[in-house]
Amino acid sequence: MRRPPTTTYAILGMLTFAERSGYELGKLIEISIGYFWSPAKSHIYAELRRLVELGWATQHEVEQDHRPDKRVYTITEKGHAALREWLNDPEVEPETFRSPLLLKLFFGDLMDPGALHAQIAEAKRQAEELLAELKAVEGRIEHEDSLRFPYMTLRCGLAHARATRRWARDTLKGLEERSAS
């Protein structure tokens, strides 16, 4: 039996902080690992079922007042062991990065200059938006020693958002200089 896909371990890892329902995991992932690993909502529920099948988590229903009932998942010792085995495996799967914007830019000769400029400007705006978002998170977690490792991943995001913003700025400038002459 092959090792399950990375998303399985992502969900499993999120259960190490506390037992949670699929819905709660979705909200949590969105503001944490979602920046570099973001499964669809329906995918989360599917993975939770797989975790139970594997014996890596157990489920139990929680009746709630004032809210619909929920199904809460708890990591097992077997799950912990599987997670550690994956974490310590020196073989790390390669990152994937795909950028439709860079792809378009590569063919920039064929583009309407106005459309190109607008699309890079929009990328710059998005980088700035992301940067503001990440800075806000940083303010909240930088001194939380228990979030030391999440903070390191945040620093990576900040570095890349800044690199993107600067690149977009420079590229726009280059585009404008050329169109002016």
Partner DNA sequence: GTCGACATGTAACCAGTTACATGATTAA
Partner DNA sequence: TTAATCATGTAACTGGTTACATGTCGAC
**Rounded to the nearest whole angstrom, what is the least distance from the CB of residue 61 to DNA in the complex?**
8
**Rounded to the nearest whole angstrom, what is the least distance from the CB of residue 65 to its own copies in the complex?**
33
Query: Could you give the CA distance from residue 46 to residue 48 in angstroms, rounded to a whole number?
Result: 5
**Rounded to the nearest whole angstrom, what is the least distance from the CB of residue 87 to DNA in the complex?**
17
Compute the C-alpha angle 160/164/169, nearest 5°.
Answer: 150
- What is the C-alpha R_g of the chain? 21
34 binds, among DNA, its own copies, none (CB under 5 to 8 A by kind): none
CB nearer to its own copies: pick between 67 and 143? 143
137 binds, among DNA, its own copies, none (CB under 5 to 8 A by kind): none
How many residues at the interface with DNA, by CB under 7 A? 27
Q: Can you give the binding site for its own copies, defined by CB under 8 A?
A: 6, 9-10, 13, 16, 32-33, 36-37, 80, 83-84, 86-88, 90, 92-112, 115, 118-119, 122-123, 148-150, 152-153, 155-156, 159-160, 162-164, 166-167, 170-171, 174
Contact 33, 10 (CB under 8 A): yes
Edge to edge, what strands does the sheet with 20-21 contain? 20-21, 70-75, 57-62
Q: Can you tell me whether residue 71 is helix, strand or coil?
A: strand
**Rounded to the nearest whole angstrom, what is the least distance from the CB of residue 74 to DNA in the complex?**
13
53-92 footprint of DNA as x/- string (CB under 7 A): -----------xxxxxxxxx--------------------
**Rounded to the nearest whole angstrom, what is the least distance from the CB of residue 124 to its own copies in the complex?**
12
Burial of 106 (0-12, 13-18, 19+ CB in 10 A): exposed
Residue from 16, 36, 38, 166 in contact with DNA (CB under 7 A): 38
- Please report whether residue 104 would count as binding DNA according to CB under 7 A: no
Query: Could you give the CA distance from residue 163 to residue 134 in angstroms, rounded to a whole number?
Result: 14
> E strand or H helix at 122, and its extent?
helix 113-141
Query: Could you give the CA distance from residue 77 to residue 105 in angstroms, rounded to a whole number?
Result: 49
